[in-house]
Amino acid sequence: MIRYGILGFGHHGIKRLVPGFNGAKDSRLGGIWRRDFEKAKTNASEYSIERALPSAEELCASPEIDAVFVTSPDALHIHDTLLAFSFNKPVLCEKPLAMNVAEVQQMLVASRKANLLFGVAQNFRYNRSVNLIRKWVQAGKIGKPIFATSHFYFQSGQSPRAWIYDPALARGGPIGDVGVHCLDALRFILQDDVVAVTTIAHRDQQSGPVEANAAFTLDFQQGTIGSVMVSFRSPYRSFVEVVGEEGIIRSEYGLTVDFPVDVLLLRGPSVVESQQVSNADCYSLMLDGFSSAMQGRGSYAAPGEDGLKNQMVLDAVYASWHSGRKELISE
């Protein structure tokens, strides 16, 4: 049983991670830290968490903590990750990994120097819907993929994470917040890398310096054209579709974890195969996947090295928005 300590416990920890730990078989939430220690103690009592620690250093140093889960705002990921490594603790870090590629590279160097496992919390890699789409694509059920699309919308005005509008703390708006999920899902499904991107994004009065709505295209190495659309303004929707030379795989709400979703295989207007799956346990599977890798039983599905590839694309997406040009992904 791997005992985790969460650095930066907050809304995400309450909504997703506590239930994830409750459903995990080989992972336990051993402690939390947040800036407000009184709130941390209250949270620990409310959610039956073993301990609240008064400082990030004490959480990382605790002999009762085996691994650190970094869930702080984006700009703090590098500090919190390097801190955990300095106490010889493996790190599972929320996405996006950092504010830019240079920070991710520092995190990777530190993990290698300490010989510690470093993973990204790309929980959708443990979604049954995403894995089924990936399986069907790789089995050739739609032939060569031509287009791959992922959308993710929600109304951020209802989110308690006020920091997502602060460019000093967040890697942008919905591109950094959920666009990285869409990008990662498409890369994972296609088992392919992105070589260039083009971006359109709009701000509004509420979003201020960060984008409120955005769309970007992805040129994949093997020729697939990808597209991602994200928004902080639309009612919730997640969608995944891969169009091939011989058919289409489509899943409305394909990235959701809150209710069962259908994965459809179409040829023309006809559904020739369908399967309903639940992604409700994806956080539990992600946690246990990292725990298993820590114990030498298999590999974790979203290693830090792969997170670097997402960060390279993410940086290029923002560069394209500001330059108005297609941006190549630097090796």
pLDDT at 145: 98
pLDDT at 325: 98
Under CATH, to which class is 2-121+285-301 assigned? alpha beta
Residue-wise pLDDT tens digits, 168-199: 999 999 999 999 999 999 999 999 999 999 99
Tokens of 90: 């493996």
* 157 pLDDT above the threshold of 90: no
Domain ranges in the chain are 2-121+285-301, 124-279
* 26 pLDDT above the threshold of 90: yes
The reply to whether 124-279 shares the fold of 2-121+285-301 is no
Residue-wise pLDDT tens digits, 236-281: 999 999 999 999 999 999 999 999 999 999 999 999 999 999 999 9
pLDDT at 249: 98
Q: What is the dihedral of CA 83, 187, 331, 86, to 10 degrees?
A: 10
Q: Which helix (H) or strand (E) holds 276?
A: strand 270-277
CATH of domain 124-279: 3.30.360.10
Contact 136, 142 (CB under 8 A): yes
Helix (H, G, I), strand (E, B) or coil at 122: coil
Residue-wise pLDDT tens digits, 129-156: 999 999 999 999 999 999 999 999 999 8
pTM of the model: 0.96
Chain center to CA of 58: 27
pLDDT at 162: 78
pLDDT at 306: 95
User: Cα 31–105–316 angle (5° rounding)?
Assistant: 110
Q: Based on the number of CB atoms within 10 Å of its own CB, is 270 exposed (0-12), middle (13-18) or buried (19 or more)?
A: exposed
End-to-end CA distance of the chain: 38
Q: What mean pLDDT value characterizes the chain?
A: 96
Tell me how far apart the alpha carbons of residues 267 and 277 are, in angstroms, rounded to a whole number. 21
The closest alpha carbon to 232, from 174, 318, 314, 179, belongs to 174
Residue-wise pLDDT tens digits, 67-109: 999 999 999 999 999 999 999 999 999 999 999 999 999 999 9
Tell me how far apart the alpha carbons of residues 232 and 237 are, in angstroms, rounded to a whole number. 11
Percent of the chain with pLDDT over 90: 95
Chain center to CA of 150: 14
Q: Residue 330 — pLDDT band, cuts 50, 70, 90?
A: confident
